[in-house]
Amino acid sequence: MAITALTFDLDDTLWDNRPILERAEAEHYQWLSEAIAAAQTSPQTSFGDCYPLSAYQQHRADVARRHPLKRGDFTWIRERALFELVEAYGLPRLQARLWAAHAIAHFLDLRHDLTPYPDVVPLLDALRQRYRLAAITNGNADLKRLALAEHFPVMIAAGELHAPKPDPRAFLAALARLGATPSRALHVGDSWREDVLPAQRLGMQVAWVDAKDEGPRALPPGVHRLAHVRELPALLDRLTTQDSARQGG
């Protein structure tokens, strides 16, 4: 069956996410510690010295464990962890909430200060002439804050739906909004567990962007390995050729 719709993962599929997250992680926390220190009237051990970045990371894991229904909503978990730490540091609850909200706003600004791989914009420009496109992300990248949004009429923030991938609901929501059946859609993503397996189980074709070179693996039917998203048009051309050969034969 000819492919009519494409769904895309974002982080590590359309851009290299690790340096973005590392920078956002360090800088928003540093900002918070300095901002609290600047607002203090009497000298005391700084917030960052009481709770170094590793303590925040640990506390976040703890918050995630205590709030299983929020799994996948990373922004909520971050803000909650910051709020609890600032309150534990000794600030009144309302102030702690405000500091956490400011720090999260700062984190999200940094999170969206990103550049897609150089090939991505022309690639999406060409693809959207032929296919309906959707983005499905577990992360807290908000496409509406990125220039890339114009390419995606459908955007699914799976974490905020509390149905993060590999939950199939995120894929089904995207397909419903694209008006496509799984057999006429192809998902593009880098994660074996969160992208490849759930999409393949729904009967979609999958372009697995194996950027981390996770090594040879027996690929299930309908799964195609790419080294980079720029190889996608060649794969789609191949699938179209195969499909018309099958129709013709």
For Mg ion, the closer of residues 3 and 196 by Cβ is 196
Beta bridge partners of 135: 8, 155
CB 188 within 8 A of CB 103: no
Task: Tell me the closest approach of the beta carbon of residue 10 to Mg ion, in angstroms.
Answer: 7
Q: In what order do the strands lie in the sheet with 132-137?
A: 154-157, 132-137, 5-8, 185-189, 205-209, 223-226
For Mg ion, the closer of residues 97 and 112 by Cβ is 112
Q: What is the DSSP letter of 69?
A: G
- Total residues contacting Mg ion by CB under 5 A comes to 4
Q: Reduce the DSSP state of residue 154 to 3 states and report it.
A: strand
Task: Tell me the closest approach of the beta carbon of residue 154 to Mg ion, in angstroms.
Answer: 17
Task: Tell me the closest approach of the beta carbon of residue 164 to Mg ion, in angstroms.
Answer: 11
Q: What is the DSSP letter of 15?
A: B
**If binding is defined by CB under 5 A, does position 9 make contact with Mg ion?**
yes
**If binding is defined by CB under 5 A, does position 11 make contact with Mg ion?**
yes
Give the closest residue to 13 by CA, choosing from 208, 203, 216, 165: 208
For Mg ion, the closer of residues 37 and 197 by Cβ is 197
Spell out the alpha helix ranges (H) of 73-183. 74-89, 93-111, 120-127, 168-178
Which 134-193 positions form the footprint of Mg ion (CB under 5 A)? 190
**If binding is defined by CB under 5 A, does position 79 make contact with Mg ion?**
no
Task: Tell me the closest approach of the beta carbon of residue 226 to Mg ion, in angstroms.
Answer: 13
Q: Reduce the DSSP state of residue 171 to 3 states and report it.
A: helix
Q: Reduce the DSSP state of residue 223 to 3 states and report it.
A: strand
For Mg ion, the closer of residues 79 and 190 by Cβ is 190
Task: Tell me the closest approach of the beta carbon of residue 166 to Mg ion, in angstroms.
Answer: 12
Write each residue from 190 to 229 as x if it is in contact with Mg ion (CB under 5 A), else as -, in one continuous string. x---------------------------------------
- Can you give the binding site for Mg ion, defined by CB under 5 A? 9, 11-12, 190
